[in-house]
Structure 1
Amino acid sequence: MRNLKRALAALFVLLLAAVVLFFVLENQQTVSLVMFGWSSPAMPVAVLVLMALIVGLVIGPVLGSYGLMRSKRRSRAQARQAVQSGS
């Protein structure tokens, strides 16, 4: 059973790598982005899209963990307040 899971995971990774490679090869035209007067160097569209994806994959979990820590802090403060008001 474990070997089947490993084989399926390896197949999924290979399929994902093939899709990314296909995407990169199909999007070779160069573009330059302009934002707030700043212009980026010309680079392939695929590079910009993959960079945006990676930034999003990093920012998402960071913001999620921040929200989780904040809610834990809030619930601890409410628990302390309940204990203090009950005494």
Structure 2
Amino acid sequence: MRGVKRVISVLIAVLAALVVLAFVLENRQGVALTFLGWSTAQMPVAVFVVAALITGMLIRPVFGVMVRSRRSKPLPATRL
């Protein structure tokens, strides 16, 4: 059973890598982003999208840990 799960995991990872590769190859036109007066150099669209994807993948676990730690703490006693 572990072997089947491992093969499926590898196939999903390869498929995801191929999708990202296709996206990068199809979105090579250059753009420059401007946000709150800050402007970037002209880079392919795929660079910005992949950077946003990686940032989201890094931030999500941090928020998950924060929420879990907040739920596990007992509530302070209140006086009436």
Give the distance between the partners of 2:65 and 2:3, measured in 1 at CA: 33
Q: Which residue of 2 aligns with 1:71?
A: 71
Give the distance between the partners of 1:4 and 1:64, measured in 2 at CA: 29
Instruction: Figure out how many residues of one structure are paired with residues of the other and give that number.
Output: 79
Give the distance between the partners of 2:2 and 2:71, measured in 1 at CA: 37
CA deviations on 1:53-75 (whole Å, 9 max, x unpaired) are 111111122112112211222xx
Long gaps (5+) in structure 1: 82-87
Identity value in percent? 47
Would you identify which runs of 4 or more consecutive aligned residues in structure 1 move more than 4 Å? Answer: none
Q: Secondary structure at 2:55's aligned position in 1? A: helix
Q: Which residue of 2 aligns with 1:84?
A: none
TM-score by length of 2: 0.86
User: What is the alpha-carbon root mean square deviation over aligned residues?
Assistant: 1.8
Q: Which residue of 2 aligns with 1:22?
A: 22
**Max radius of gyration: which structure?**
1
